[in-house]
């Protein structure tokens, strides 16, 4: 990769954003272990979480090859301001309806992102994206199945899922907060841009929500929750990171 | 991960075969003697069914409750390698619960009834999970030594007579053997690490030694009851047998790592080849199993919370026309 300094900066920011989202949502989903509504869902959420965290680790390893710290140091010692995750992934797990809808919205965005990245000019990322597409396919399949079932099953589950959609949608729009480096990434043929991704995402989720008898908020009410990509986070991220690094930070030089 | 089945001393010994058709009973026992497996639709004595339901159900509950003390450390595991491994391990334990609830269902009790009995305190689960995992090192000790104890028990029970339980146990044991490797690796890193790490793991071993010694249950009273259950291959070894096997295999490994076991009387008698140790406090064991342990309330509260919070999801899966079917064994 013969990128200049600004281009490297753009690439790094892009990689951090993707990996941080995956680490944080993976961590959150792992919190369902032992608490799911059915043991089958504990298991499913854990599998999805393991995939996401493993994917984050590999992307951090690309960052390491670009001169950043090693994956463990990146994940377990940074404070919140250094994270580029969106607010959607940071919120506590709440109830199952919230966590499921969050997964549905996030996984579809991720699926499309990896489809786009499979042809990226950033070769190590393209290689990973090709592999991850196969994993995320099952994450979206899981979310689709449950959203369809719960959206239509009975009045209570429908109301819960509609409320969860209303509560998460603007947060999910925050996934697509554009980077100041967007044009560089586009010119380098690394990524065509968040707006393109958002457009494709709306196209993908609209029919699925319709099949689930759920209604997307009117576009006039769309108010994307931005800030995460710039290091401004919810109050939930810092305590989560403190917990995540609690043992590692006892002695970062120790081998655990 | 699970210790040996506790036999209910309140069951009258002779009631195990009372009222059973002697010809059917003789055929049943002959099949077991020949090493055949009993399958869900086969004839079986009522006491056999009752004991197996209790045993498999307790085992399933132990897996799901056992996910809690380790599960709370998933969010704190140091580094990707440990975090991913612990997630997979605890996920396996929940998977074991799923397998075991299905195996128990083949005997005629629904998963819902079993879970209700768990959260109402009617059914028990392994006593060790009523103790807290105080530090990261506790999770290492649990994954190594509690899972080691469980493997000894489960490998033994997988040679039992009830087909669905044996098949579930075979799958469980192959996964548990990875947990054991994970736990051992984790303990090795701590025991050979910094002074702080060594202290953490020694403290954890000190805390867990009594629960480990309790793990396989109190010495069995020799009774006609025990003999029948052993003949039926429901109970495959005495609690002390399993404890000896555990000590024989793991005490030298613990010592190899330079760790101290907090029992000055622990040694293998060179003449008899038998392990000698200080009997752990069995009154404490009884107290904890009957609800008065450090974490009993918390564990059941968490389980109740999960059941209540998830009730709407399960309701949404019910269809008016659907009928209950017993899972395939």
- In terms of Cβ atoms closer than 10 Å to its own Cβ (0-12, 13-18, 19+), residue A221 is exposed
Task: For B191-241, write each residue's pLDDT tens digit.
Answer: 999 999 999 999 999 999 999 999 999 998 767 778 888 999 999 999 999
Contact between A35 and B194 using a beta-carbon 8 Å cutoff:
no
Task: For A189-212, write each residue's pLDDT tens digit.
Answer: 999 999 999 999 999 999 999 999
Two tokens, residue A65: 């090859």
How many other C-beta atoms are found inside a 10 Å radius of the C-beta of residue A24? 29
- CATH code of the domain in which A204 resides: 1.20.1260.10
> What distances in angstroms separate CA B132 from CA B54, B118, B126, B309, one per listed residue?
25, 19, 13, 24
What is the distance between the alpha carbons of residues A59 and A228, in angstroms, rounded to a whole number?
A: 18
Give B6's strand partners.
none
Domain assignment present for residue B54? The answer is: yes
Two tokens, residue B305: 């919370």
Q: Is the entire prediction scored with pTM above 0.90?
A: yes
Domain assignment present for residue A201? The answer is: yes
- Using alpha carbons, select from A127, A16, A130, A132 the residue that is nearest to residue A66: A16
What is the distance between the alpha carbons of residues B74 and A243, in angstroms, rounded to a whole number?
A: 10
Task: For A98-121, write each residue's pLDDT tens digit.
Answer: 999 999 999 999 999 999 999 999
- CATH code of the domain in which B147 resides: 1.20.1260.10
Does the beta carbon of A94 lie under 8 angstroms from any beta carbon of chain B? no
Contact between B91 and A46 using a beta-carbon 8 Å cutoff:
yes
Of A62-66, A81-85, B219-223, the range with the lowest mean pLDDT is B219-223
Domain assignment present for residue B326? The answer is: no
How many other C-beta atoms are found inside a 10 Å radius of the C-beta of residue B266? 17
Domain assignment present for residue A47? The answer is: yes
Domain assignment present for residue B323? The answer is: no
Residues of chain B with pLDDT under 50: none
What is the distance between the alpha carbons of residues B140 and B207, in angstroms, rounded to a whole number?
A: 13
Give me the pLDDT at residue A248, please. Answer: 97
Give me the pLDDT at residue B16, please. Answer: 85
Domain assignment present for residue A112? The answer is: yes
Domain assignment present for residue A239? The answer is: yes
Domain assignment present for residue A256? The answer is: no
Quote the DSSP letter at residue B143: I
Give me the pLDDT at residue B327, please. Answer: 81
Does the beta carbon of A218 lie under 8 angstroms from any beta carbon of chain B? no
Mean pLDDT confidence for A171-177: 98
Buried b (16+ CB within 10 A) or exposed e, B133-155: bebbbbbbbbbbbbbbbbbbbbb
Task: For A147-168, write each residue's pLDDT tens digit.
Answer: 999 999 999 999 999 999 999 9
Domain assignment present for residue A255? The answer is: no
Domain assignment present for residue A97? The answer is: yes
Pairing of strands B267-268, B275-276: antiparallel
CB B307 within 8 A of CB B112: no
Does the beta carbon of A155 lie under 8 angstroms from any beta carbon of chain B? no
Give me the pLDDT at residue A148, please. Answer: 97
Give me the pLDDT at residue B225, please. Answer: 77
Contacts of A50 in chain B (CB under 8 A): 84, 87-88, 91
CB A73 within 8 A of CB A221: no
Domain assignment present for residue B167? The answer is: yes
What is the distance between the alpha carbons of residues B329 and B326, in angstroms, rounded to a whole number?
A: 9
Contacts of A156 in chain B (CB under 8 A): 312, 315-316
Contacts of A47 in chain B (CB under 8 A): 91
Q: What count of Cα atoms within 13 Å lies in the side-chain half-sphere of residue B181?
A: 7
Contact between A149 and B317 using a beta-carbon 8 Å cutoff:
yes
What is the distance between the alpha carbons of residues A182 and A123, in angstroms, rounded to a whole number?
A: 18
Contacts of A46 (CB under 8 A, 6+ apart): A29, A30, A32, A33, B87, B88, B90, B91, B94
Q: What is the ipTM of this complex?
A: 0.97
* Total number of domains constituting chain B: 1
* Sign of torsion over alpha carbons B274, B276, B277, B278: positive
Q: Which secondary-structure segment (H or E) carries A237?
A: helix A237-245
Give B276's strand partners.
B267
What is the distance between the alpha carbons of residues A57 and B81, in angstroms, rounded to a whole number?
A: 9
Q: State the best of B66, B94, B199 to mutate against chain A, taking most chain A CBs within 10 Å.
A: B94
Residue ranges making up the domain that contains B172: 25-298
Task: For A123-152, write each residue's pLDDT tens digit.
Answer: 999 999 999 999 999 999 999 999 999 999
Contact between B78 and A43 using a beta-carbon 8 Å cutoff:
no
CA angle B21, B26, B28 (to 5 degrees): 95
Does the beta carbon of A122 lie under 8 angstroms from any beta carbon of chain B? no
Does the beta carbon of A157 lie under 8 angstroms from any beta carbon of chain B? yes
Two tokens, residue B329: 């064994």
* Minimum Cα–Cα distance from A153: chain B residue: B316
Does the beta carbon of A159 lie under 8 angstroms from any beta carbon of chain B? no
Domain assignment present for residue B11? The answer is: no
Give B268's strand partners.
B275
Two tokens, residue B321: 């026309």
Domain assignment present for residue A90? The answer is: yes
Contacts of A24 in chain B (CB under 8 A): none
Residue A83 scores a pLDDT above 90: yes
Two tokens, residue A73: 């140091």
A-B contacts (CB, under 8 Å)? 128
* Sign of torsion over alpha carbons B7, B11, B14, B19: negative
Residue A87 scores a pLDDT above 60: yes
- Using alpha carbons, select from A94, A55, A47 the residue that is nearest to residue A71: A55
Residue ranges making up the domain that contains A150: 5-250
* Minimum Cα–Cα distance from A145: chain B residue: B317
What is the distance between the alpha carbons of residues B99 and B167, in angstroms, rounded to a whole number?
A: 10
* Total number of domains constituting chain A: 1
* Minimum Cα–Cα distance from B319: chain A residue: A153
* Minimum Cα–Cα distance from A57: chain B residue: B80
What is the distance between the alpha carbons of residues A154 and A140, in angstroms, rounded to a whole number?
A: 22
Interface of B with A (CB under 8 A): 64, 67-68, 71, 74-80, 82-84, 87-88, 90-91, 94-95, 97-98, 101, 136, 189, 193-194, 196-197, 302, 305-306, 309-317
């Amino acid at each position: 990769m013969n990128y200049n300094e600004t281009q490297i900066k753009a690439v790094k920011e892009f990689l951090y954003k993707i990996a941080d989202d995956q680490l944080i949502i993976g961590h959150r989903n792992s919190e369902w272990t032992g608490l799911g509504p059915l043991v089958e869902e504990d298991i499913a959420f854990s599998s999805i979480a393991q995939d996401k965290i493993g994917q984050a680790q590999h992307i951090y390893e690309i960052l390491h090859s670009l001169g950043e710290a090693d994956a463990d140091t990146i994940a377990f010692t940074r404070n919140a301001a250094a994270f580029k995750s969106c607010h959607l992934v940071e919120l506590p797990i709440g109830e199952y309806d919230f966590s499921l809808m969050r997964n549905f919205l996030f996984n579809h965005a991720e699926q499309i992102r990896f489809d786009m990245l499979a042809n990226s000019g950033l070769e190590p990322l393209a290689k990973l994206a090709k592999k991850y597409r196969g994993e995320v396919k099952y994450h979206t399949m899981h979310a689709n199945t449950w959203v369809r079932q719960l959206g239509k099953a009975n009045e209570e589950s429908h109301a819960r899922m509609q409320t969860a959609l209303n509560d998460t949608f603007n947060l999910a729009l925050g996934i697509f907060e554009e980077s100041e480096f967007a044009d560089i990434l586009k010119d380098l043929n690394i990524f065509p841009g968040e707006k393109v991704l958002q457009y494709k995402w709306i196209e993908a989720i609209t029919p699925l929500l319709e099949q689930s008898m759920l209604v997307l908020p009117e576009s006039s009410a769309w108010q994307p929750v931005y800030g995460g990509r710039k290091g401004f986070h919810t109050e939930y991220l810092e305590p989560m990171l403190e917990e995540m690094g609690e043992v590692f930070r006892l002695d970062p030089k120790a081998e655990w | 991960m699970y210790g040996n089945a506790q036999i209910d001393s309140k069951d009258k010994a002779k009631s195990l075969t009372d009222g059973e058709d002697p010809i059917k009973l003789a055929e049943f026992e002959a099949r077991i003697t020949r090493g055949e497996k009993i399958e869900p639709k086969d004839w079986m004595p009522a006491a056999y069914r009752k004991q197996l339901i209790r045993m498999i159900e307790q085992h399933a509950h132990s897996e799901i409750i056992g996910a809690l003390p380790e599960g709370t450390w998933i969010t704190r595991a140091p580094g990707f390698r440990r975090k991913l491994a612990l997630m997979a391990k605890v996920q396996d334990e929940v998977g074991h619960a799923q397998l075991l609830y299905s195996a128990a269902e083949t005997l005629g009790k629904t998963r819902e009834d079993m879970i209700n009995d768990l959260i109402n305190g009617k059914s028990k689960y392994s006593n060790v999970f009523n103790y807290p995992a105080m530090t990261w090192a506790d999770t290492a000790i649990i994954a190594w030594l509690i899972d080691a104890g469980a493997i000894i028990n489960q490998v033994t029970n997988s040679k039992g007579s009830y087909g669905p339980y044996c098949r579930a146990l075979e799958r469980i044991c192959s996964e548990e053997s990875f947990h054991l490797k994970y736990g051992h690796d984790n303990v090795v890193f701590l025991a050979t690490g910094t002074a702080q790490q060594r202290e953490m793991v020694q403290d954890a071993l000190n805390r867990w030694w009594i629960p480990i010694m309790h793990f396989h249950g109190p010495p069995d009273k020799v009774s006609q009851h025990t003999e029948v259950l052993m003949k039926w291959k429901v109970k495959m070894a005495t609690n002390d047998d399993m404890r000896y096997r555990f000590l024989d295999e793991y005490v030298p490994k613990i010592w190899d790592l330079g760790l101290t076991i907090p029992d000055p009387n622990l040694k293998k008698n060179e003449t008899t080849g038998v392990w000698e140790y200080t009997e752990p406090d069995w009154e404490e064991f009884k107290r904890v199993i009957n609800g008065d342990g450090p974490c009993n309330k918390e564990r059941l509260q968490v389980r109740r919370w999960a059941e209540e919070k998830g009730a709407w999801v399960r309701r949404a899966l019910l269809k008016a026309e659907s009928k209950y079917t017993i899972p395939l064994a």
